[in-house]
Amino acid sequence: MKRLLFLVLLILFNCKDANQNTNNLKIEKPYPSPKIKYGKHFFDYNKLDHYYIDTSNSTILSLYNSQDKSKIDKIKYEVIAGETPNDITDQEFLKFIEKIGYSKSKVDSSKFKALNKIFIEKPEEDMEVRACAPVYRDILIFKKDKKINGIMKICFNCHQYRIFGTNANTKNFGSNTDYFQLKDLLK
């Protein structure tokens, strides 16, 4: 219980607000660098759904405090700040995702080539990690022929993520301005 309260406090005091403007950030390096050797892609997909929820850190604290009140509040908290889903087969939360406040948009297939340059094995480069608890406002659902084969939860503020459904080495996701490029592509 103390650990969860500590994580919630970290969210409130250490992460920048989701509404803070990041449009003035400039990406200096072209992506991908021709000198870097890349491995396999994270996902094989022909459809990509992007779910987004606009929520504040204070709302997350309220959710934490009201988890006992309803099934929807518990699911909402677990999806936004918790461990749901646990793996690629844990797709039950998708039945409630719009009910808990996420908006769905389809990512245009013309962006897949640029996205594949982000979702690929790569050597470690400069990575930025923040010491805060993640708030997963963005969820990507990768599909191949109507079957879900990849799920990714992203906290753009903390630069943390959870990825399910790939055998690729994802540990260096977040290097070489991945988060900035991904956020720009998802707009």
123: which 2 tokens?
């050597």
pLDDT of 21 higher than 60: no
Q: State the sign of the Cα–Cα–Cα–Cα dihedral 57, 152, 178, 187.
A: negative
C-beta separation of 99 from 53 below 8 A: no
Task: Label residue 1 by pLDDT band (50, 70, 90).
Answer: low
In order, the DSSP letters of 14-38 are: HSPPTTS--TT----S-SS-TTS--
Cα distance between residue 16 and residue 96, in whole Å: 28
Question: Quick one: average pLDDT of 163-178?
Answer: 87
Cα distance between residue 151 and residue 45, in whole Å: 11
Using a pLDDT cut of 70, give the percent of the chain over it: 74
Query: Would 70 be classed as within a structural domain?
Result: yes
Query: Would 26 be classed as within a structural domain?
Result: no
Question: Quick one: average pLDDT of 119-133?
Answer: 72
pLDDT of 38 higher than 60: yes
Measure Cα distances from 118 to 37, 57, 179 in Å.
13, 28, 9
Cα distance between residue 75 and residue 174, in whole Å: 27
Structural domain of 126: 2-18+33-186
Task: Label residue 130 by pLDDT band (50, 70, 90).
Answer: low
pTM of the complete model beyond 0.95: no
Which residue has better confidence, 17 or 98?
98
Query: Would 65 be classed as within a structural domain?
Result: yes
Cα distance between residue 30 and residue 94, in whole Å: 35
C-beta separation of 105 from 54 below 8 A: no
| Total count of domains within the chain | 1
Query: Would 27 be classed as within a structural domain?
Result: no
CB burial readout 141-164, b (16+ within 10 A) else e: bbeeeeebbbbbbbbbbbbbbbbb
pLDDT of 15 higher than 60: no
Query: Would 23 be classed as within a structural domain?
Result: no
Query: Would 55 be classed as within a structural domain?
Result: yes
Query: Would 28 be classed as within a structural domain?
Result: no
C-beta separation of 93 from 85 below 8 A: yes
pLDDT, averaged across the chain: 81
Q: What integer pLDDT is reported at residue 49 of this predicted model? A: 98
Helix (H, G, I), strand (E, B), or coil: what is residue 141?
Answer: strand
46: which 2 tokens?
């022909």
Query: Would 109 be classed as within a structural domain?
Result: yes
What is the Cβ-side half-sphere exposure of residue 106, based on CA atoms within 13 angstroms? 7
Q: What integer pLDDT is reported at residue 57 of this predicted model? A: 81
